[in-house]
Structure 1
Amino acid sequence: MEGVTEPTMTPETAATSSGQPLEDRVNNRSQRPSSDAFKAFMSSQWAPASQELPPVDEVAACAAGRRRAISEAFPGERLVLPAGPLKVRSNDTDYMFRPHSAFAHLTGLGVDHEPDAVLVLEPVDPGTGDDGGNHRATLYFRPLAGRDTEQFYANSRSGEFWIGKRPTLAQLRAQLALPTADLDELEVALTKNVGEPSIGGTRIRLVRDVDPAVDALVDTARINTAINPEEVDLSADDARDGVLSEALSELRLVKDPWEVGQMRSAVAATVEGFADVVRALPRAIAHHRGERIVEGTFAAHARAEGNGLGYETIAAAGDHATTLHWITNNGQVREGELLLLDAGVEADSLYTADVTRTLPVSGTFSPVQRKVYQAVLDAADAAFAVARPGVRFRDIHTAAMKVLAERLVEWGLLDVAVEEILSPEGQQHRRWMPHGTSHHLGLDVHDCAQARAELYLDGLLQEGMVFTIEPGLYFKADDLAVPEEYRGIGVRIEDDVLVTAEGTTNLSAALPRTPEAVEAWMAELAD
Structure 2
Amino acid sequence: MTSTHSLSYFPTSSPPTFSAPSPAKILYFPPMLQNWRIIIMRTLFVRLPLVIFLAACSYGRFNNQSLPQNTITPGEFAGRRQHILENMSPGEVALFHSAPTVNRNDDVDFPYRQDSDFYYLTGWEEPDAILILQKQKSGKTNTVLFVKPRNPHMEIWTGIRQGPEGAMTLEGIDTAYANDAFEDMRGSFLYSASKLILSDGGDKAFRTNLDEWLADAGNYAPATIQRAGTVTAPLRLIKSDAEIALLQQAIDITGASLVDAWGKLKNLDYEWQLAAEVEYGFKKRGAQRLGFSSIVGSGKNSTILHYETNRDLLDKSGLVVMDVGAEYNYYSADVTRTVPVDGKFSPEQKAIYELVLAANEAAIDAVQPGVNWREPHNTALRVITEGLVELGLLEGNVDTLITQNKYRKFFMHGTSHWLGLDVHDVGGHHQADGSPWELQPGMVLTIEPGIYIRDGLEGVDPKWYNIGVRIEDDVLVTKSGHRVLSGDIPKSVKAIERVMR
Give the TM bin, normalised by the shorter chain.
0.7 to 0.9
Q: Quick one: structure 1 residues 191 and 390, their matched pair in 2 at CA, closer, same or farther if it must change by over 3 Å? A: same
Counterpart of 1:415 in 2: which secondary structure? coil
Mapped to 2, the partners of 1:502 and 1:414 lie a distance apart of 37
| Runs of 4 or more above 6 Å deviation | 454-457
- State the distance in 2 between where 1:494 and 1:326 align: 16
Residue 315 (1) aligns with residue 315 (2)? no
CA distance in 2, matches of 1:77, 1:440: 29
Is 1:340 the counterpart of 2:324? The answer is: no
Q: Which residue of 2 aligns with 1:67?
A: 81
Name the counterpart of 1:95.
Answer: 110
The alpha carbon displacement at 1:342 in A equals 0.4
* Residue among 270, 281, 284 paired with 1:301: 281
Give 2:477's aligned residue. Answer: 499
**Matched letter for residue 160 of structure 1:** E
Counting aligned pairs with the same residue, the percent is 33
Gaps of 5+ in 1: 1-56, 130-135, 153-158
Among 131, 144, 159, the alignment partner of 1:138 is 144
What do residues 31-89 of structure 1 show as CA deviations (whole Å, max 9, x unaligned)?
xxxxxxxxxxxxxxxxxxxxxxxxxx742222222212222343222111111220000
Could you tell me which of 109, 112, 120 is aligned with 1:105? 120
1:47-446 counterparts in 2 under 5 A?
Answer: 58-75=72-89, 76-109=91-124, 113-125=125-137, 128-129=140-141, 136-145=142-151, 147=152, 152=153, 159-179=154-174, 180-192=176-188, 194-195=190-191, 200-208=192-200, 210-227=202-219, 240-242=225-227, 244-285=228-269, 290-304=270-284, 305-347=286-328, 349-423=329-403, 426-446=404-424
Match of 1:15 in 2: none
Aligned residue-pair number: 428
Q: Which residue of 2 aligns with 1:51?
A: none
Give the direction of change, closer, same or farther, for the CA distance of 1:318–1:502 in structure 2 (3 Å limit). same
In structure 2, the CA distance between the partners of 1:193 and 1:66, relative to structure 1 (3 Å rule), is: closer
**Equivalent AA in structure 1 for residue 130 of structure 2:** V
Cα 1:308–1:392 change in 2 (3 A) is same
Separation (CA, whole Å) in 2 of partners of 1:95 and 1:185: 27
User: Residues 126 and 465 (structure 1 numbering): CA distance in 2 closer, same or farther, change over 3 Å?
Assistant: farther
Distance between the aligned counterparts of 1:454 and 1:213, measured in 2? 30
The structural deviation recorded for 1:125 is 4.7
* Alignment RMSD: 2.2
Question: The residue matched to 2:173 in structure 1 has which SS?
Answer: coil
Is the CA contact (8 Å cut-off) linking 1:120 and 1:139 kept in structure 2?
yes
Q: What is the alpha-carbon distance in structure 1 between the residues aligned to residue 416 and residue 385 of structure 2?
A: 17
Report the alpha carbon displacement of residue 308 of structure 1 after superposing the two structures with TM: 1.2
SS of residue matched to 2:321: strand
- TM-superposed CA distance for 1:204, in Å, is 2.2
What is residue 18 of structure 1 aligned with on the other side? none
Structure 2 unpaired stretches of 5+: 1-70
More displaced stretch, 100-109 vs 87-96: 100-109
Q: Secondary structure, in 3 states, of the residue corresponding to 1:226? A: helix
Cα drift, residue 320 of structure 1: 0.2
Q: Distance in 1 between matches of 2:130 and 2:314?
A: 46
Q: Distance in 2 between matches of 1:502 and 1:375?
A: 27
Q: Is the 8 A contact 1:314 1:340 kept in 2?
A: yes
2:190 match: secondary structure: coil
| Higher RCO (Cα < 8 Å, 6 or more apart) | 2
Find the counterpart in structure 2 of residue 23 from structure 1: none
Instruction: State whether residues 342 and 356 of structure 1, in contact with CA within 8 Å, keep that contact through their aligned partners in structure 2.
Output: yes
Cα distance in 2 between the residues matched to 1:395 and 1:505: 17
Cα distance between partner residues in 2 of 1:464 and 1:456: 21
* Structure 2 counterpart of 1:467, one-letter code: L
**Cα pair distance change 1:451/1:406, threshold 3 Å:** closer
Amino acid at match of 1:256: S
Separation in 1, partners of 2:363, 2:253: 25
- Aligned partner of 2:15 in structure 1 is none
SS in 2 for 1:120: strand
Instruction: Write the distance in 1 (CA, Å) between the matches of 2:355 and 2:341.
Output: 19
Distance between the aligned counterparts of 2:133 and 2:432, measured in 1? 27
Q: Hey, what's the Cα distance between the residues in 1 that align with 2:87 and 2:465? A: 52
Q: Residues of 2 paired with 1:173 and 1:518: CA distance?
A: 51
Counterpart residue type for residue 250 of structure 2: A
Per the normalisation by structure 1, the TM-score is: 0.77
Letter in 1 for 2:82: R
Aligned-pair distance for 1:518? Answer: 1.2
How far apart in 2 are the matches of 1:400 and 1:389?
18
Q: 2: CA distance between counterparts of 1:394 and 1:65? A: 31
- Greater mean alpha carbon deviation, residues 390-399 or residues 293-302: 293-302
Judge which range, 370-379 or 512-521, deviates more: 512-521
How far, CA to CA, are the matches of 1:175 and 1:83 in structure 2?
A: 16
Aligned to 1:491, what secondary structure does the other structure show? strand
Cα 1:178–1:298 shift into 2, 3 Å:
farther
User: What letter matches 1:387 in structure 2?
Assistant: V
Of 479, 484, 489, 1:511 maps to: 489
1:44 matched residue in structure 2: none
1:3 is aligned to none
Change (3 A) 1:307 1:140: same
Question: SS at the partner of 2:475?
Answer: strand
Give how far 1:507 is off.
Answer: 0.6
Q: Are residues 263 and 85 of structure 1, via their aligned partners in 2, closer, same or farther at CA, if it must alter by over 3 Å?
A: same
Which has the larger displacement, 513-522 or 118-127? 118-127
Determine helix, strand or coil for the equivalent of 1:479: coil
Q: Give the Cα separation in 1 of the matches to 2:297 and 2:77.
A: 38
8 Å CA contact 2:419–2:444 kept in 1: the answer is yes
- Change beyond 3 A, Cα 1:482–1:451: closer
Distance 2:391 2:428 in 1: 39
Decide whether aligned partners of structure 1 residues 456 and 99 sit closer, same or farther in structure 2, where only a CA change above 3 A counts. Answer: farther
Distance (Å, rounded) in 1 between the aligned partners of 2:189 and 2:445: 42
- Please give the alpha-carbon distance, in whole angstroms, between the structure 2 residues aligned to 1:144 and 1:209: 22
Q: Do 2:410 and 2:451's aligned partners in 1 also have CA atoms closer than 8 Å?
A: yes
Query: Which letter maps to 1:71?
Result: L
